[in-house]
Amino acid sequence: MGVGHDHGAGSTGQRHYGRLWAAFVLLAVFMVVEAVTALATSSLALLSDAGHMFTDVLGIGMALAAIAATRRPTGEPQRTFGLYRLEVLAALANAVLLAGVALYVLVEAARRFADPEPVTVGPMLVVAVAGLLANIVAFALLRQGARESLNVRGAYLEVLGDLLGSVGVLVAATVIATTGWWYADPLVAVGVGVFILPRTWRLARAALRILVQAAPEHVEVDRVRSRLATVPGVCDVHDLHVWTLTPGMEVASAHLAVTPSADVGTVLRDARTALHDEFGIEHATLQIEPLAPADSCGPADW
């Protein structure tokens, strides 16, 4: 005998769909402006920043596509968990994209140390300020969602990296304009690359942890097992599994061996309440296995 909870509740990323769209449109428009200005002024720094912003637009676009897919009913009975995992896959793709950008920035910075290139400082300053403002707005739009959704967090980190890139371009342009020291540009690029890489690793690690169905870091499986064993009427807990379906949606399944006199409904209610209130697990499938009167109340043999 078992009981399950419906997984049809909306994921956290869906609640921030409108903010993602606003950030996408804002950055896409400014990316075009920055690229055109870079080509008109022959500014490699601006062209690189436009490429970085392109990764923001692409990353947010993937996030939007993933969330849109989870909002659509699949109509396929074989997809019993829906398409929630697409958000996690998009976050992993964003992490790979971020790592590629960071490595490119570091390689380009090394090349410029060996052969620094002059830039047209005036347009560089103007567009850097405009880019900074655009990224601040996008950053504010995505900040709340980044705390709840791994997918939104991937887009948020890309915008954060580009925001720092805009600050770096602004600082480099100011230093070059006041001192003529061309090495400011590659130094700033190294700083941005070093900032991006560890955050990219954390994002990829979180996504991979979900994909391999490891237990959430904040949930101790042994504590869950011990707590379920204290539910009145429960003799043994086995085949316990705890995993994350998508960020904000923790899932558990377990077999509960109960005494012959135990009330199944009461056991299920108490077990679900414990999982929800003490561990934040709202989606649980519990298999009740009543023992025969002759069986002892102890650990199962399987």
What are the extents of the domains in the chain? 8-211, 221-290
Distance CA 32, CA 123 (A): 15
Residue range 143-192, pLDDT digits in tens: 776 666 666 776 777 787 777 777 877 888 888 888 888 788 778 777 77
Q: Look over the chain and give the mean of its residue pLDDT values, rounded to a whole number.
A: 79
Q: How confident is the model at residue 1 (pLDDT cuts 50, 70, 90)?
A: very low
Radius of gyration of the chain from Cα atoms? 26
Residue 300 has pLDDT above 60, yes or no: no
Residue 4 has pLDDT above 60, yes or no: no
**pLDDT above 90 coverage of the chain, percent:** 21
Task: Compute the C-alpha angle 33/34/40, nearest 5°.
Answer: 90
Q: What's the pLDDT score for residue 157?
A: 75
Do 8-211 and 221-290 show the same overall fold? no
Contact 284, 4 (CB under 8 A): yes
Distance CA 43, CA 278 (A): 56
CA 240 to each of CA 38, 70, 210, 252: distance values in angstroms, whole numbers, following the listed order: 57, 27, 17, 7
Contact 41, 124 (CB under 8 A): yes
Distance CA 75, CA 80 (A): 10
Contact 161, 196 (CB under 8 A): yes
Chain centroid, CA 37 distance in Å: 32
Span of 63-67, 72-76, 195-199, 276-280 with lowest mean pLDDT: 72-76
Residues in contact with 121: Cβ distance below 8 Å, sequence separation at least 6, in sequence order: 173, 176, 177
Residue 120 has pLDDT above 80, yes or no: no
Domain spanning 8-211 has what CATH number?
1.20.1510.10
Q: What's the pLDDT score for residue 161?
A: 73
Distance CA 146, CA 143 (A): 5
Contact 246, 11 (CB under 8 A): yes
Beta bridge partners of 284: 252
What spatial distance separates the first Cα and last Cα of the chain, rounded to whole Å?
18
Distance CA 262, CA 276 (A): 21
Q: From the CB of residue 118, how many other CB atoms can be counted at a distance below 10 Å?
A: 12
Distance CA 268, CA 254 (A): 11
CATH class of 221-290: alpha beta
